[in-house]
Structure 1
């Protein structure tokens, strides 16, 4: 392994980075401390020219390495290996062999082997800092990963349940499917297996899956085994099933949707209704009455007093005294300035051709970003803050960029960073498009045309020949345009200003 040492711009002096790819001063999105050693890992040959700018703030799953005490995060931008005691991390993305950046499940088996599955098909494992496919299962769609007390990996799919203890060998156990892909799996010391899916809770007995119906609904999102209790997270709260008596008990204090469970000695950590708390057979206690405004996706129990919390807005650690954000305030997406935070949820793109350079405008769920394709500099546009940007339209002859926000409507941006609001169009804007020689916008109240520097409504929803609203627009020739509505397809002739005509049935 070749190791290089480079000076990098300071992001936060308390954090250090072990990076599988080299970074420069303008690279996104990794915070680096001055003089921090970087391990220069080999890239997968398939992605040798790739450079990744995907955010790893959006956590889908967590896994804890019991041997080394490290935490592994599955995110919308790849995999993050977090070393809590050393305050450093290593990030992996598609250039390191991952099956795309969108990773949903992650687990660490008893030997320390890390496994992941993503939005695409296949199960992958990490070897020599390259992610490699577990080819024995082929291109199977994995819905859940977990481990048992012996360290075996359990893989849940729609075509079967598999137990694996070596990435180079066949599964040591294969069970038939339980009808639908599992949402969660729990295994006790005797290979007593429980799972939940779209049809409810199932228990593997006598070489078959037996549905558990007594007092249990089909709205089970997740489950966990702890002692003689089976804990069920549902859309409406937490349920405990006493396995000795097969009796269900609803935990009354846990009202809301349960999205994650993590068993500990006393009971189970629960993410419910935006809060995290500890549930026992006799009580429920939330952490400091803190309510998260972002989805809680995963929990890992450190002890009866501490828990790791994975959310769509980063990693947290909860304890009896406090809940604190881990990594940095924007982990780990920033070099230098917080303005460089880049959302992984890209919803709109537009290239603006200027006299001396080209600008790529990027609309995301967390604001508008500007990328200079010549200097390769990034910048967030402060006018739009963290707005949910849905569409971008560039009008070259007027040096105006029109940006549609879900909450703030339509705004025109001039080169001097001047903002011009289209106050006559109510938000949200559904479509911005150029058609033939005209520019069009679709709002909830009708179709707008850009004329003489003004947006004019040319069709209201009341004039549509169907009872519905506009959803899309396309114009190829000057005298014909197509309107997609919630109740069918319409033909519109802009020059005649006739009412649209319904096409088809």
Structure 2
């Protein structure tokens, strides 16, 4: 009897647990986040929500329209700086033409368009200025539900009032919502009893199939992908309408008793219901209640899906909510998983603190190994070359090998250095290298074991990891003793911090496809390029840590995926980076790497990995991460199968403290503009905090900037001309916006910065130079003429003076001597043996001249002596000199003359003749005496 009772209880437990697991399983991979007045939203009540074509999430609030880019909220409402006419927003709609329609609480309807803004009120034909609902039909008509009736605007701007079927509704209907179905019919939900209408044949007609439910109030309405209509009937639950029939659907969730105010149909066909007490999803024929969210969320007014598939909700008291399907699929064991390996058959093996778990095609399976290891603490798992699974246990039975022949075990009793096995690998030669907390063991194919302890050169016996490199050298990382290199079962080197290792606690060792080494330590990530490790330790490694952008100084594991990224685990959780970027940093081509960390918002609901855990990338590109409380799977192929590129938008431009918001396309900068600041944003709601930007200003920089999370950039002193600013957004998955957002700046120049100015200046300069040289040349010509004239004058004067001096010289000296001396004054000495000299003077000259002036005396002497000179020249006599009143002459020198005596006598006679002639007219008559000497 007790056996049957136990079986019955087990079956009951299984039956009752299935729905719970189903509900819990559906939302396991979903995460949600709220924003309210404490998170930047203006107020806690969100009346409506919509994503516009520019990517922004637009939220209707009692404080206006709030636009959200995932990071920053911006409130828009009437102000002195704009022409908006609304202070609050209750309904939001972007029509097919890109116009934004905002229904306000008491200011009518606002249309925001590139063609201009316009406000519609009761003066324009609205039944009431309180607009509660908006919808667009297939003809482009915009339907407007107010607190006192319904109207619609045609595309050409005509406002028309639809009629209701006679007797169906009292005057002054209050609209709750409007909906356009797949056939183009407009459905209206009102606050009245039995308030569900469809517009057909020019009239709003009530739906009678709901009458069987008695008195009812409709709170929401929608249509699924199969054409079935769903209606929230307040506290009556959910009704399904199909083929003219209606039925209440019993869900077993809060939908059955709580009013449903929002219904949203996803692209995958699932239906999301927003109630006063939380969210329920209908998917796969079952209803799933988001119980975790139901504890905090109250009254959901609207549910939408954005372009990336995230769900957004406008709530009454919790602001807005984003629900995202996490990037990671987490399986919570409640215990730590320590190692994962993939078998040759594609099975995934997970070693945990309570044994081995096995997954085949995503489903957990049981086998001999999982049963054998149940309750054992597993520290490491690996796959041998023949497909066997190596299992390292932290207690007896020590090291296991599981294959076709069953399970083989090695313990301390079999010769291992200890039963606390940390890691084991199979070497190329087939030996098993087994690391324990008390040494290293090498298990040979024949069963013999060789051990290494302190006595054998392994100074630190606590083995943390083992890796065989491409050269066949086995690297053994220890807990505090660095790395030991083994070749042919001999230690060939020890590598520690003294030789350049980042830290002596070594968690993992690996090589990339280029053969470069990456060593994960407790003090950073060490890197060095490929080298011949058979000759010993490498040269000093490069250390990467938080200073290079890793965000941590302790790296547990470092491994690549199939998309060019590298993943690493640390105390801060799971992170990834572009492998080429991190290698550029390691090799000095870049200073920092951009790393993205994953957290609860990505579906990673865990406390993270442990330092000794081993994660993998399987053959299909899925990443399996060991966690302190289970495992997480990241499917990169699923994430990138239908990527949605981020959008980018320039929000504002500030020019020398003047801000431009709505006119950012072409901005003219006045001369002397000093600073231009550009603010931009990226739209990607998967992980908005991870968006990076790259930008470029033409004619200022040649290349786009390195990706950065900064959302503003400044430029100073732009040179005159046209500059185009481009900015791209890069989302958390590394995807760049399809098209860069741009704006044009036209920097006006000062007059001296204009090319024409410099052309004119050049012309003026050239003209000035020409004129300068022309005037200078003319002045030089004039100067030359003046100088030439002066030279001629001076030359004439010099010639005259020379002639005078020559005459004087000849008057004093013989002509021959004078001719010699006039060109070169020097001493002349000659000897004449036959010549005649004449000496003469004036008798009583002193007495004669005493009564006359010096000028009269000189003039008289000059007149007399000139007569003598003329005669001397005519007779071939050489005048020697005149001294006062004395006159000396010679003949026979310097030219020889045999008749010199006769000539000189004749000359003396002639002198007396000249004296007589002179005295005839002289004012001062003279008497002379003459003496002649011959020899």
Question: Is the shorter-chain TM-score for this pair beyond 0.5, marking a shared fold?
Answer: no
Category of TM-score, reference length = shorter chain: 0.3 to 0.5
TM-score normalised to structure 2 length? 0.20
Instruction: Decide which structure has greater strand share.
Output: 1
Instruction: Decide which structure has greater helix share.
Output: 2
TM-score normalised to structure 1 length? 0.36
